[in-house]
Amino acid sequence: MTEPSKFDFCPWLFWDHATEEDRRAQERHQAALREGIGLDAAGKVFISPLAAVHTDRLRMGDFCYIAAHAYVTDDISMGADCTVNPYAVVRGRVELGDAVRIGAHTSLLGFNHGTAPDRPVFRQPITTRGIRVGNDVWIGSNVVVLDGVTIGDHAVVGAGSVVTKDVPAWAMVAGNPARPLRDRRTARDTPASGDTPASRNTPDPAPAVQNVVPHTAGRALPDAAPLIGDDLERRLADFAGRARAQAEAVLARCWTGERYVDRPDAQPTVRAWADAVEIADLLLGGPPPVPAREEIVAFLRDRQDPATGLVPEIGAPGSPERERAKSPGTEGPPEEDASGGRPELEGVTAYHILSVGYALDLLGTGFAHPIRAVSDLAPKDLIATLDGLDWARNAWTAGSWVDAFGTGLYRNLAGFGVRGENLETLYGWLLTRCRQAHGMWGEPDGDAGWLQVVNGFYRLTRGTFAQFGLPLPYPERAVDTVLAQARDPRYFGHGNGNACNVLDVIHPLWLTGRQTPHRRAEGEAWAREQLDRALGGWQDGAGLSFALTLGHGEARTPGLQGTEMWLAIIWLLADYLGISDTLGYRPRGVHRPEPALQLPG
């Protein structure tokens, strides 16, 4: 048996203090490992002989260390200057940037088990979304990081934390579940000594952030006073199991044999196909059972107008149906819509950039053509268009236009490498027009209050700041405005409320909550109330209606749109409360929590 040495437990000392005999022994150990663990080590690295390293692939940059009794398996990539301290566990697919410190007894678990009720847990399939850790990240002792989490550059995770969702760059987080405490770039709350390892040769003490408390009056740390009870988690699990078991019936109810419709007897729409794809991905883990995936892909891709890149509604100008209806030899000039031109970036046509684009993502493909309605707009015309939107009286429509435009920019950049000047132009306009007083765009209406402004804020930020992973300009003021809207009884009182209004509050709360803990307790109380109500809305074999209120009419009839939206809303509400893992699903389409494309901050 190998005798322990100081290097096994203090590996950062190895290259400064190891003897020639120590170095030869380490070289022999690494040579033996290379044959069995897929080791790709660059420069000077140290792997303790007392560590259990059983990887399929292990990449280690210069001055990386794995200490005694660490348990490392599967597919691990480490940049330069990374340390896995004693008794740490790093498993699954894990990518570490440069200068990542992982404290003792910490676990990074880049995999998960299924939880379906049809078989024992040990027979469930293993899923892997992976864990990604940026550069200059400090993860304290006894931390657990779950599969699917991304930790941004320069972040600090306090000792004993359970990290269930992404950590923004520069954030200091702590608790169970981990919550933001402050930004590292703000004034310090703790003594400077020991806060950051001075160099690669300095041991990693437990982060001083473990003693920091959020600046929220009267509220204890999450792990000191549970925010929700076991009953709510049980109801979440029951809801998800019920929805999963009935997903095929919900989809079959809206399949005519030829097309998807939102609900029985409704007119065929493009969105119904996209909603079916999203529901199937959430609850069944793949495409809808019918028709074949290839048929769904062909239908959605063929909807796109090559001239504009937009996706008109079924039967609208520019749609395949209208094109096929033309007699041979009579093509003539492009067909005009009611507005006197090609389909505009508005209404359902604009929303299809979101719904169809993300549905194609989930099906493993994408648009056939760039969104030329976005790429062909000159920067000066973009500014004129933004200035001309009705921010004073119709901020929701203005925000939805920005959402579609931002998503078109993403589609062009990610799918076709088309960037142009409009990305910078759009963000420059947004940052200079955001109202510092309330953190949003537009002004409240004397009759509707904050409804238009908050709803427009959701759509605007979804397609820009959230989709590209950029911070909001005034998150605390935005929280104040959103909570003012959340208290308005006209939209959230007894007997009223719908999916849009709840989504337009919870997504901004969730998004701003990644930057600030400002008034978190109030937001969580509202989220619990809405979650309690939403979980009672499922109708067997039919799903969820757009409006979760009693009565008749289209909005109160279960359909694909209501089901898709509420499944995402329930996840956002649960994730804001730190219990979304109980659901066993995570949105990957229009309502995905991760940025679709990470831009530099």
Q: 32 vs 149, which has greater pLDDT?
A: 149
pLDDT digits (tens, 9 = 90+) for 538-549: 999 999 999 976
Residue 343, pLDDT > 90, answer no
Backbone angles phi, psi at 163, to 5 degrees: -95, 110
The enclosing H or E element of 453 equals helix 451-461
CA gap 435, 438 in Å, rounded: 6
**What is the rounded average pLDDT of the residues 100-112?**
94
Please answer whether residues 294 and 250 qualify as being in contact, where contact means their C-beta atoms are separated by less than 8 angstroms. Answer: no
Mean pLDDT for 257-261 is: 96
**What does the alpha-carbon distance between residue 189 and residue 215 come to, in Å, rounded to a whole number?**
10
Return the higher-pLDDT residue of 367 and 445. 367
Distance CA 466, CA 204 (A): 33
Round to whole Å and give the CA distance between 91 and 53: 10
Average pLDDT, the chain: 86
- Region of 315 (left: φ > 0; alpha: ψ -120 to 50; beta: rest) is left
Closest CA to 165 of 601, 568, 578, 597: 578
Q: What average pLDDT score do residues 305-333 get?
A: 76
- Note the pLDDT tens digit of each residue in 41-100: 877 899 999 999 999 999 999 999 999 999 999 999 999 999 999 999 999 999 999 999
CA gap 42, 64 in Å, rounded:
9
Please name the amino acid found at residue 226.
P
Other Cβ atoms within 10 Å of 26 Cβ, number: 20
Give me the numbers of helices (H) and strands (E) for the chain, helices first please. Answer: 18, 19
DSSP string, 118-169: TS-GGGSPEE---EEE-SSEEE-TT-EE-TT-EE-TT-EE-TT-EE-S-B-T
Of the ranges 179-183, 356-360, 390-394, 555-559, the best mean pLDDT one = 356-360
Distance in angstroms (rounded) separating the CA atoms of residues 428 and 433: 9
CB atoms within 10 A of CB 419: 12
- Give the C-alpha separation, 132 to 97, whole Å: 8
User: What is the torsion angle, in degrees rounded to the nearest 10, for the CA atoms of residue 226, residue 228, residue 234 and residue 235?
Assistant: 180
* Among the listed residues 136, 128, 168, the one whose alpha carbon sits nearest the alpha carbon of residue 150: 168
Tokens 């100081």 sit at which residue? 6
User: pLDDT tens-digit profile of 502-520?
Assistant: 999 999 999 999 999 999 9
Residue 193 confidence (pLDDT): 26
Domains and CATH numbers, the chain: 6-211 (2.160.10.10)
Chain-centre distance of CA 577, in angstroms? 15
* pLDDT (0 to 100) of residue 552: 64
Q: Give dist(CA 150, CA 131) in Å, integer.
A: 6
Taking alpha carbons only, the member of 344, 443, 462 closest to residue 395 is 443
Is the Cβ–Cβ distance between 359 and 295 less than 8 Å? no
Evaluate whether 539 touches 549 at the Cβ level (below 8 Å): no
Cα(51)–Cα(329) distance, rounded to whole angstroms? 75
Encode pLDDT of 140-182 as tens digits: 999 999 999 999 999 999 999 999 999 999 999 999 899 888 8
Q: What is the pLDDT of residue 6?
A: 86
CA 422 to chain centre: 24
Supply the pLDDT for residue 326: 60
Dist. CA 176–CA 261, nearest whole Å: 42
Which residues on adjacent β-strands are paired with residue 251?
none
For the residues 273-302, what does the mean pLDDT come to?
97
Angstrom distance (rounded) from CA 447 to CA 426: 30
Among 291-295, 313-317, 542-546, which is the least confidently predicted range? Answer: 313-317
pLDDT of residue 335: 45
* pLDDT for the residue 446: 79
SS3 433: helix
Termini Cα distance of the chain: 50
b/e 176-193 (16+ beta carbons within 10 angstroms → b): bbbbbbbbbeeeeeeeee
pLDDT at 216: 29
Return the number of other C-beta atoms located less than 10 Å from residue 359's C-beta: 27
Report the alpha-carbon angle 70-75-81, nearest 5. Answer: 60
Task: Report whether pLDDT(404) > 80.
Answer: yes
pLDDT of residue 13: 87
DSSP character string of 60-102: E-TTEEE-TT-EEEEEEEE-SS-EE-TT-EEEEEEEE-SSEEE
Radius of gyration for the chain, computed over Cα atoms and rounded to the nearest angstrom: 26
SS3 content of the chain, % helix, strand, coil (to 5): 40, 15, 45
Residue 104, pLDDT score: 93
Q: Report which listed range, 201-210, 420-429, 437-446, 559-568, is most confident.
A: 559-568
CA distance 14 to 7: 6
Residue 365 pLDDT exceeds 50:
yes
Span 174-229, pLDDT tens digits: 998 998 888 887 744 333 222 233 333 333 333 333 322 222 222 222 332 333 45
Q: Which two tokens stand for residue 291?
A: 């028709």
Q: What is the pLDDT of residue 120?
A: 86
Say if CB 195 and CB 208 are below 8 A apart: yes
CA separation (Å) from 593 to 99, 104, 148?
Answer: 26, 30, 11
Measured CA to CA, the distance from residue 320 to residue 338 in angstroms comes to 18
- With bands split at pLDDT 50, 70 and 90, how would you rate the model's confidence at 493? confident
